[in-house]
Structure 1
Amino acid sequence: MKHQHPTHPEPKDAQARRARPVVVCYPTETLPQLDLAASAARREGAELLQRLSVPPRSAACIDVPAGHFARIVSVEGPQVGDLNIWNSHNIAERFYSGKTRALHGTHVGTGDSLWSSFPFMRPLAHITCDTLDWYGYDADGGSVHDVIGTRCDPYTGRLLSGSDYHYCCHSNLTRAVADHFDLPPEEAERHVHDVLNVFMLTGFTRDTHQYFMKASP
């Protein structure tokens, strides 16, 4: 694996180079802070307008007007979900998991925003409540709700195992987008993007630094 068998000798000051201090690339103190108390009060008085059940190995789209809440619930066991977000009025503006990760970290939770792609660069949604916030980070460095992974897809499956499987997250999302926005599948697929892995418990192994998952809590 990478970095396990270096082929170049260390310089004499290698330890000093490794000991240099960490600098956070994107300090977030100047970002607008969510009023979580106000959000909680609004949720208490909120009226349920729509309920949608998504069976395993499938996907669905829902329109959420600005100012409304969308609650994602695991109804049967330790399920996980891959979440894509678009501006309903312009699907060229979509969730930017990489920038969300750079701003908020590898896993997101209450108080974090889900940022949109360039040139828009604004919150498409805010996380105002997370009932798994008790989990934190475990001894393996794992946590929930990651913006690390891309999404399972038939192309990587074919690359690694030679098999074709089209009930993976990418294919499920593609079918849902095609249906919701009335697009041919080949066009809908171009709008499917890297995800927020809701409920998914993930991290990086300490020895090889590979992406891992564990059973969701």
Structure 2
Amino acid sequence: MGNPNKAYRCLPGGPLDVDKEFYDNIAKEEGRVKEQDFTIPIRTGKAWVVPAGHVCRILSVEGPQVGDFNMWNLHNPREHFWAARTRQLGSASITTYDHLWSTLPYMRPMCTFTADTLADYHDPDGGNVHDLLGTRCDPYINRMLAGYDFDYHCHSNLTRAVQPYGLTEFDVHDVLNVFQLSGLNQQQEYFMKACPARPGDYLEFFAEIDVLCAMSACPGGDLSVDMWGPEGASTAEQLKHCHPLGVQVFSVPEERLEGWHQPECSPYVGQNGRHGLHFTPFVDLPKEQQEAHA
């Protein structure tokens, strides 16, 4: 069997080519100033702001724990991280030098990952850490699969976290599963395995624009026990596998930002207005164009 080429590629020097030297310089810890440092307790969520040009680190602080992560443009929440396009432009999991890409019509990198202590982790079953394949657990799927209500799934935690910023359940979107080990089995079914993160492991990103972030400490904890199905663990059993998550935000020395600028939104405007929606009425088109559209 061959190895097909990645579908979404650019010309050399295009927008998918990352300036690794710049981001390696950003990743240096010397000279940073810690602006925020907090813990997200088990089975809760929290939202926070990362200004453009700052670095954010997500930490495993006490033990293995999965975090479900969302990101929005701080000034325009209609622009948010787009998991599907990020998978297509990158891969099904996140690591160093990857971007999180934003939704249409904005279509730009919102952040770039600068450090990942689990970048070299190998799973014999083909799983990957920092999963983009799956999405957040939610009380609706729990009701369907387990038959009871539970209000502390990641969707609920994220919803409560963003309410102080004027956002609602409808703004919560597909997630980056930080520290989660997931993949597709031979039947192309989604699987999750025990989180490999240990205290001190971290994933770090550089904010390309001002962003609002939110993360839930998943109620499944390290996902070492099944949440649903015949072997599904009780809520009390799952609780034994839960740990808090840490978040730190740093400013970086200004000289490291030399030459950097915030990415612009997509310049697409269309030939006759965006998507051709503002076009000359059909009856006024030249005869040959009328025939071509007939």
TM-score normalised by the shorter chain: which range applies?
0.7 to 0.9
Displacement of 1:23 in angstroms is 3.4
Within 5 Å, give how 1:66-215 maps onto structure 2: 66-135=52-121, 137-179=122-164, 181-183=165-167, 188-206=168-186, 208-215=187-194
Higher mean alpha-carbon deviation, 93-102 vs 155-164, is at 155-164
Code of the residue aligned with 2:192 in structure 1: it is M
Q: Deviations over 1:113-151 (max 9, x none)?
A: 00111100111111000011120x421001100111111
Structure 2 stretches of 5 or more lacking a match? 197-294
Is the Cα–Cα contact under 8 Å of residues 24 and 114 in structure 2 kept in the other structure?
no
User: Secondary structure at the residue paired with 2:79?
Assistant: strand
Cα RMSD between the aligned structures?
1.5
Name the counterpart of 1:40.
27
| Whole-angstrom CA distance in 2 between matches of 1:37 and 1:196 | 22
Displacement of 1:21 in angstroms is 6.3
Displacement of 1:20 in angstroms is 7.3
User: Secondary structure at the residue paired with 1:178?
Assistant: helix
Q: Deviations over 1:179-205 (max 9, x none)?
A: 2x145xxxx000000000000011111
In percent, how many aligned pairs have the same letter?
49
Highest RCO, 1 vs 2 (Cα 8 Å, sep ≥ 6) = 2
| Whole-angstrom CA distance in 1 between matches of 2:52 and 2:195 | 30
Code of the residue aligned with 1:192 in structure 2: it is V
Displacement of 1:40 in angstroms is 2.4
**Where does structure 1 differ by over 6 angstroms across 4 or more consecutive aligned residues?**
none
- Answering whether residue 12 of structure 2 is matched by residue 24 of structure 1, we say no
Instruction: Answer 1 or 2: which has greater strand percent.
Output: 2
Displacement of 1:156 in angstroms is 1.0
TM-score norm. by structure 1 comes to 0.83
Q: Deviations over 1:19-62 (max 9, x none)?
A: 67623211255324132322124x42110011121001111011
Is the Cα–Cα contact under 8 Å of residues 130 and 179 in structure 2 kept in the other structure?
yes
Q: How many residues align?
A: 191
TM-score norm. by structure 2 comes to 0.62
Is the Cα–Cα contact under 8 Å of residues 71 and 80 in structure 2 kept in the other structure?
yes
Which protein has the larger Cα radius of gyration, Structure 1 or Structure 2?
Answer: 2
User: Secondary structure at the residue paired with 2:129?
Assistant: strand
| Whole-angstrom CA distance in 2 between matches of 1:37 and 1:126 | 11
